[in-house]
Amino acid sequence: MDWAAAELVTGELRLWLFRGDAQGAAITAPAGDDPAAALRAMLAPGAAIDVIASGWPGSAPVRVPCPPPPPLPALALDPRVTLHALPGLVQDRPADLIGAQATRIAGHLARHPDFDGVLCLPGQQTVWAHLSAGEVVSFRSFLTGELLSALTASMPDGASAGFAEAVQDALSRPAGLAAELSSARARLAMGLTTPPAAHAQMAGLLIGAELAAARPWWLGQPVTVIGHGWLADRYAEALVTQGLAPAMADPTRALLDGFRAARRAL
């Protein structure tokens, strides 16, 4: 391998080794308080290596509208390891900021350079980004995933019964969100519903309220959901209830494509 890519998210460092465009081993480790030390420890002693990093702390973000930004000036972590941090994106009005997700957006554009539409990246912080003419025009992030995790920590997410109905409820009356969430939990405590159904309902309420606020992002737009798993499937299902036919894209592939594009820009 001749270079490496690293993503730092929620205290975890994920490392991929590359030889040219071909991906080699992938390793994950806790980042601790000193991600640079964690990164050095993950790289076996040997030849000098370039590391492209996403979500790296202290990397000044770039203001939209802009094309996916190239890596910031290189930083020598030690005589062997050279770090190339990828900046996040920042927006003035409305004020918004994204870090590591910017690399997935860049990866999607690298694979689909003519993409003109909207990306939805579900997660603890869900991001909607409008792309056109090779640029990120604008974006908006929502704390929906984080709110859902906080409210449903102990509930399994197996079922999706009641999800679509809850999406519609919240889209129709988004102001009732906090009350409807409390009702959902009350029905669970009263034995009127099951934990998976309560989880699906609360997810539907939160995603429906997000869709109400994000309407300018998806209405009449081609939407691609970059994500996999339960939460990404629910975003897609919610968009389908609104008459859209979202495409799905793999988030790891988008991330690695973003790293490869940055590598070519070095």
> Any idea of the CA torsion for 113, 118, 119, 123, to the nearest 10 degrees?
160
> CB of 90: closest distance to a copy of itself in angstroms?
6
DSSP letter, residue 243: T
Q: Binding a copy of itself by CB under 8 A: which of 185, 195, 248, 250?
A: 185
The phi and psi torsions of 30 (rounded to 5 degrees) equal -65, 140
Strands 49-54 and 81-86: parallel
**Does 5 participate in binding a copy of itself (rule CB under 8 A)?**
no
Cβ–Cβ under 8 Å, residues 193 and 200? no
**3-state DSSP assignment of residue 53:** strand
> CB of 60: closest distance to a copy of itself in angstroms?
10
How many of the chain's residues bind a copy of itself (CB under 8 A)? Answer: 36
Instruction: Identify which range of 36-44, 114-122, 177-185, 244-252 contacts a copy of itself by CB under 8 A.
Output: 177-185
> CB of 190: closest distance to a copy of itself in angstroms?
6
Q: Binding a copy of itself by CB under 8 A: which of 22, 44, 47, 150?
A: 150
Instruction: Identify which range of 25-33, 207-215, 234-242, 247-255 contacts a copy of itself by CB under 8 A.
Output: 207-215
Of the pair 51, 208, the CB lying nearest a copy of itself is at 208
User: What is d(CA 45, CA 263) in angstroms, rounded to the nearest whole number?
Assistant: 22
Q: In what order do the strands lie in the sheet with 89-91?
A: 62-63, 89-91, 96-98
Q: Binding a copy of itself by CB under 8 A: which of 189, 220, 243, 245?
A: 189
> CB of 198: closest distance to a copy of itself in angstroms?
11
**Does 161 participate in binding a copy of itself (rule CB under 8 A)?**
no
**Does 62 participate in binding a copy of itself (rule CB under 8 A)?**
no
**Does 129 participate in binding a copy of itself (rule CB under 8 A)?**
no
**Does 206 participate in binding a copy of itself (rule CB under 8 A)?**
yes
Instruction: Identify which range of 47-55, 111-119, 139-147, 222-230 contacts a copy of itself by CB under 8 A.
Output: 139-147
Site residues, a copy of itself (CB under 8 A): 90, 94-97, 125, 140-144, 146-147, 150-151, 174-179, 181-183, 185-187, 189-190, 192, 206, 209-210, 212-214
